[in-house]
A and B are shown apart, each in its own frame.
Chain A
Amino acid sequence: MNKEEMIKKLKVRVTPIGNGTAIDHINPGMGLKIVEVLGMDEKNGAAIALNTESKRMKEKRKDLILMEDRFLTENELNKIKLLARNATVNTIKNYKIEKKEKLDLPKKAEGILKCINPICITNHEELKTKFSIKKEPVKAKCFYCETSMDKEEIKKHIL
């Protein structure tokens, strides 16, 4: 099999879905983390492509997730916004893209992040956490204890 045939075969693996969600243009390396955060359910199929070629992405590489019969809640969408700020979320119904949303970093994150500070009150009492989000560089600052987390720390502290 030559290279082109191989690529063709590989591309076939990612088959289009009739109903569900496609998360495209995920920064390479973040795909598995998103799968972990969303949690895949046993009944529905999913395809994950890691580090595939992308013309649009700055890195020329991207991760891609296709989930059959699975639609994202607002809470899940907010978590993905924190992890993959450049991703596109396509909601597919009857083989048609019903909604296409290009994600951006939110200004606030409520109830989706755990504070990194072990002596923060949110880690001791049942409370909805609140963070304000800053871009360039990405930082999440706890509303209560004022501790900031950087991009890597945010990734590790998604609830």
Chain B
Amino acid sequence: MHINLLLMDSKNSLKKTDFSLTDVISIYDFSKKDILAVLKRAEEIDSMTPMQKSKLLENKIVASMFFEPSTRTRLSFETAIQALGGKVIGFAEAGITSAKKGETFSDTIKVMSNYADLLVMRHPLSGTARLAAEVSLKPILNGGDGSNQHPTQTLLDLYTIKKFVGKLDNLKIGFVGDLKYGRTVHSLATALTHFNATQYYISPESLKMPKHITEEVQEKSKVYETEDIEKFIPEVDVLYMTRIQKERFPDEIEYNKVKNAYILTKAMLVNAKKEMKVMHPLPRVNEISTDVDDTPHAIYFQQTAAGIPVREALLDLLSKVKK
């Protein structure tokens, strides 16, 4: 399954990349080389002119299959496809597909893989992306399978860190808020073990990082845990904020106890390193006070923008794969 790709760069000379995957399903499938190959390609594409970009998926048809509505992810994928000159077919909700007539997911994928050159998908059930990769004749790009994986989010987080902090190696990163249920946080924490990151888990006791993730990360990296949001602010290069969701709590009293304890304000950043960056997968509710937005620390809006070059890079890399 592992192959080396020959890519045409902007000067039309052939060059080899280290991207070895035939589908993008789970961040666990990525080696450090794979991650770096995606980030490098994203940088290259980001610096291309619109005309150069629009040749990359020329004459390619990409299926955008959203069995579950997700406006942000879908539109960022479809923007990327259009910008690369590809044509999009697909659907934005399962209600209009044959799934409603009782067709199995596997059959839908088999049929669609006859039509398109590359399949982007999101599905409310976990494991669907892996199954799709098994039955599809064409590469699968996972845009989220249930509560399991959302690898493009992790890659855009890494791209953002590399771009705005200037490095991925030996990073000090604090994860704040709901570390128990946050899929984004789990994937990023795992991916960062390739880069010798020191990780700080900052959350209320009831929303602590799951033990299996902490143990996995600890095998390769240093981990510190605390309930105090301010304790590690002066230490870290990145503070990765997450939303604490009310529905995760058994009762409102429990929720009220912690909800205001994990709000980041401008005043709390006084002792932060000058270059420290604050990230958030968005949407935010109130966990980052709006007075942080105007500080040089805030990069969460640039973070969402990174979704485009990263998805473009993945589309480009996968469009050259032969399964």
Give A contacts to B, CB under 8 Å.
115, 117, 119-122, 124-127, 142-148
Contacts and interface: CB of A to CB of B under 8 A. Distances in A.
Interface stretch (B121-129, B160-168, B236-244, B275-283): B121-129
Contacts of A125: 104-106, 131
A142 B131 CA distance: 12
Contact of B127 (A126, A142, A148): A142
A24 B264 CA distance: 60
Given A121-B105, A121-B127, A127-B131, A145 B26 contact: no
A144 B105 contact: no
A127 B104 CA distance: 11
A119 B126 contact: yes
B10 to A, nearest CB: 37
B69 interface: no
A146 B125 contact: no
A117 B148 CA distance: 10
**What does DSSP make chain A's interface, helix, strand, loop or mixed?**
loop
A145 B212 contact: no
Top 6 closest A-B pairs, CB basis? A144-B127, A145-B126, A145-B127, A121-B127, A144-B130, A121-B125
Contacts of B106: 125, 127
Contacts of B104: 125-126
Interface residues of B, number: 19
B130 A120 contact: no
Contact of A120 (B28, B105, B126, B212): B126
A145 B105 contact: no
24 contacts: A117-B127, A119-B125, A119-B126, A119-B147, A120-B126, A120-B127, A121-B105, A121-B128, A122-B127, A125-B104, A125-B105, A125-B106, A126-B104, A127-B106, A144-B126, A144-B127, A144-B128, A144-B131, A145-B126, A145-B130, A145-B146, A146-B126, A146-B148, A148-B212
Contacts of B28: 146
Contacts of B128: 121, 144
B149 interface: yes
Given A120-B125, A144-B127, 6 more contacts: A117-B127, A121-B131, A143-B127, A144-B126, A145-B127, A147-B126
A143 B145 CA distance: 13
A100 to B, nearest CB: 37
A148 B127 CA distance: 13
Nearest to A121: B127
A125 B131 CA distance: 11
Contacts of A119: 124-126, 146-147
Contacts of B127: 115, 117, 120-122, 142-146
